[in-house]
């Protein structure tokens, strides 16, 4: 149903019900994308979920009427203003570990939930056994999985190498990303183009290349995927490590997209000296913003809770209280919905390098 029909229909039902309350906010038009890595109890805790807990997630999604849909259905509905099911969820796995094949695939098939696996073809070749191979990927693809691109080598793509020209860097990006897609397409048939940034790291130059090559690209900071998302910075909720906890995951599964139309800093990478970057966010006027309890909007950075400074009714800024850590971090902002149906969620990704311009994995 297109937007006009939707509006017409809600106007009609308002008339039929004889109600004068404001129409229900259309903020359900978003998708919570979950991001997993390992499904195992013997891999690094920070990127792992044990198989039992993973099954609990699926059971929770089923019992609470979440609709797990495939990535292309989600993309098409968001971009073409199509209809998304209520409580839409997309499940993704980064890196394509063999333990996903061993410990997650059967449960996903049993629950009939589609999912996407982002793979690194060169790493698959070098470390067979650790990662799923093409045979395993073919097998899961036939059972409803989408296989997508995580680059050949899982590199810190935005780090230019010493002495590397811009043109050489672009060529290296092409070799890492387009060549990986070629390997995927050759082995599995031509696929839709989805890319997950290794480590969630991107900048404007890399985004522009991905756009030029026709990719949608997924990051690692959080928030629902919605019509306000940029198609080369699609956010996901990590669901491994400490984030595997169902109690906190519930809030995220029920979250709604903030109607963000502009934000600063635009790129995650800040200067080393910029230890407390000011964050500013501009929201779009309308029904969704009207449903946001902006008075109760709070942001979270490291351990601190930050109150926004409202510069206008649609624009707020956040001053950090502490220096951000070296490496990747996020500032998450949430605001309860006035209709009491969950939290609006928005996250800003930051990368602060050390003095020599690098940062840890
Ligand atoms: Zn990865």
The CATH number given to whatever domain includes residue 303 is 2.60.40.10
240 domain residue, yes or no: yes
**343 domain residue, yes or no:** yes
Judge if 201 and 141 occupy the same domain. Answer: yes
89 pLDDT more than 50: yes
Dihedral, CA atoms, 263, 265, 269, 272, nearest 10 degrees?
-160
Residue 13 lies in a domain: no
Whether 21 is covered by a domain: the verdict is no
| Gap from CA of 56 to ligand 1 centroid (Å) | 23
The CA 4 to ligand 1 mean position distance, Å, reads 40
Indicate whether 287 and 190 sit together in one domain.
no
Q: How far is the CA of 291 from the centre of ligand 1 (A)?
A: 36
**Of 285, 294, 293, 284, which is closest to residue 338 (Cα–Cα)?**
293
Q: How far is the CA of 132 from the centre of ligand 1 (A)?
A: 14
Residues 246 and 290 in one domain: no
Ligand 1 center–CA 199 separation, angstroms: 6
Q: How many Å lie between the centroid of ligand 1 and the Cα of residue 154?
A: 6
Model pLDDT for residues 113-161, shown as the tens digit of each residue: 999 999 999 999 999 999 999 999 999 999 999 999 999 999 999 999 9
How many structural domains does the chain have?
A: 2
Q: Find the 198 Cα to ligand 1 centroid distance in Å.
A: 5
* CATH value at residue 168: 3.20.20.370
pLDDT confidence bin for 212, thresholds 50/70/90: very high
Distance set, CA 74 to CA 18, 63, 226, 253 (Å):
34, 21, 9, 15
Indicate the range of 48-52, 77-81, 268-272 predicted with least confidence. 77-81
Of the candidates 255, 286, 307, which is a domain's last residue?
Answer: 255
Residue after which a domain boundary falls, among 255, 283, 312: 255
- The residues whose Cβ lies within 5 A of ligand 1, an ion, are 94-95
Q: Are residues 168 and 235 in the same domain?
A: yes
Closest CA to 58 of 137, 101, 96, 112: 112
Distance (Å) from CA 51 to ligand 1 centroid: 19
Write down the pLDDT at residue 28. Answer: 64
Q: How far is the CA of 220 from the centre of ligand 1 (A)?
A: 10
Task: Please check whether residues 114 and 232 belong to one and the same domain.
Answer: yes
Could you tell me if 93 and 184 lie in one domain?
yes
Report how far ligand 1's centroid is from the alpha carbon of 311 (Å): 38
Based on the fold, state whether residues 272 and 251 are members of the same structural domain.
no
Task: Please give the residue range of the domain that contains residue 88.
Answer: 29-255
User: How far apart are the CA of 208 and the centre of ligand 1, in A?
Assistant: 21
Residue 81: pLDDT band with limits 50, 70, 90: confident
Q: What is the pLDDT of residues 27-56, one digit of tens each?
A: 468 999 999 999 999 999 999 999 999 999
Q: Looking at 255, 282, 309, which one is the last position of a domain?
A: 255
Report how far residue 210's alpha carbon sits from residue 174's, in angstroms, rounded to the nearest whole number: 9
**345 and 234, same domain (yes or no):** no
12 has a pLDDT exceeding 70 = no
The CA-based angle 257-62-84, given to 5 degrees, is 40
Span from the CA of 361 to the centroid of ligand 1 (angstroms): 11
Determine, yes or no, domain membership for 22. Answer: no
pLDDT at 95 over 90: yes
65 CA to middle of ligand 1, Å?
Answer: 29
Q: Could you tell me the distance, in angstroms and rounded to a whole number, from the CA of residue 240 to the centre of ligand 1?
A: 12
Residue 235 forms part of a structural domain: yes
Q: Phi/psi at 214 (nearest 5 deg)?
A: 85, 20
Interatomic CA distance for residues 31 and 47, integer angstroms: 22
Q: Which residue from 148, 13, 46 is spatially nearest to 92, judged by alpha carbons?
A: 148
Instruction: Give the tens place of pLDDT for each residue, 165-182.
Output: 999 999 999 999 999 999
Range scoring the smallest mean pLDDT among 18-27, 144-153, 273-282, 336-345: 18-27
CB 191 within 8 A of CB 150: no
Report CA(150)–ligand 1 centroid distance (Å): 7
Report the C-alpha gap between 320 and 307 in whole angstroms.
10
18 lies in some domain: no
**Residue 25: is its pLDDT beyond 60?**
no
**188 in the same domain as 80:** yes
How many angstroms does the Cα of residue 10 sit away from the middle of ligand 1? 42
User: Percentage of residues in the chain with pLDDT exceeding 90?
Assistant: 89
Separation between Cα atoms, residue 73 and residue 311, nearest integer Å? 38
- Asked if 53 and 163 sit in the same domain, the reply is yes
Q: How many angstroms separate the CA atoms of 225 and 69, rounded? A: 13
SS3 labels along the chain: CCHHHHHHHHHHHHHHHCCCCCCCCCCCCEEEEEEECEECCCCCHHHEECHHHHHHHHHHHHHCCCEECCHHHHHHHHHCCCCCCCCEEEEEEECCEHHHHHHCHHHHHHCCCCEEEEECHHHHHHCECCECCHHHHHHHHHCCEEEEECCCCCCCCCCCCCCCCHHHHHHHHHHHHHHHHHHHHHHHCCCCCEEECHHHCCCHHHHHHHHHCCCEEECCCCCCEECCCECCEECCEECCHHHHCHHHHHHHHCCEECCEEEEECCCCECCCCCCCCCEEEEECCCHHHHHECHHHCEEEECCEEECCEEEECCEEEECCCCCCCCEEEEEEEEEEECCCCCEEEEEEEEEECCCCCCCCC
Residue 1 Cα to ligand 1 middle (Å) = 36
State in Å: Cα 219 to ligand 1 middle. Answer: 10
């Amino acid at each position: 149903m297109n937007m006009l029909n939707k509006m017409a229909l809600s106007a009609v039902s308002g008339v039929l019900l004889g109600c004068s309350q404001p129409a229900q906010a259309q903020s359900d038009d978003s998708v919570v994308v979950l991001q997993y890595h390992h499904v195992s109890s013997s891999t690094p805790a920070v990127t792992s979920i044990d198989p039992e807990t993973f099954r609990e997630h699926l059971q929770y999604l089923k019992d609470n009427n979440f609709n797990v849909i495939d990535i292309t259905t989600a993309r098409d509905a968001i971009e073409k203003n199509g209809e998304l099911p209520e409580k839409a969820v997309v499940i993704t796995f980064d890196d394509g570990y063999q333990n996903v094949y061993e410990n997650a695939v059967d449960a996903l098939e049993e629950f009939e939930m589609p999912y996407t696996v982002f793979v690194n073809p060169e790493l698959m070749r070098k470390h067979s056994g650790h990662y799923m191979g093409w045979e395993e990927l073919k097998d899961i693809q036939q059972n409803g999985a989408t296989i997508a691109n995580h680059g050949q080598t899982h590199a810190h793509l935005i780090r230019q190498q010493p002495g590397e020209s811009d043109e050489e860097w672009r060529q290296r990006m092409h070799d890492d990303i387009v060549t990986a897609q070629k390997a995927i397409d050759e082995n599995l048939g031509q696929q839709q183009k989805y890319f997950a940034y290794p480590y969630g790291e991107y900048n404007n130059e890399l985004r522009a290349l991905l756009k030029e090559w026709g990719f949608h690209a997924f990051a690692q900071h959080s928030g629902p995927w919605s019509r306000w998302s940029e198609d080369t910075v699609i956010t996901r909720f990590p669901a491994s490590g400490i984030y595997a906890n169902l109690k906190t995951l519930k809030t995220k599964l029920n979250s709604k997209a903030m109607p963000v139309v502009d934000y600063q800093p635009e790129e995650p990478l800040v200067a080393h000296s910029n230890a407390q970057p000011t964050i500013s966010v501009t929201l779009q006027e309308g029904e969704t913003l009207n449903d946001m309890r902006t008075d109760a909007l709070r942001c979270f950075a490291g351990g601190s809770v930050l109150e926004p400074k409202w510069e206008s009714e649609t624009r707020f800024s956040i001053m950090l209280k502490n220096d951000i850590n070296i490496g990747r971090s996020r500032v998450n902002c949430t605001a309860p919905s006035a209709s009491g149906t969950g939290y609006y969620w928005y996250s800003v990704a930051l990368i602060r390098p050390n003095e020599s311009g690098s940062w840890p994995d």
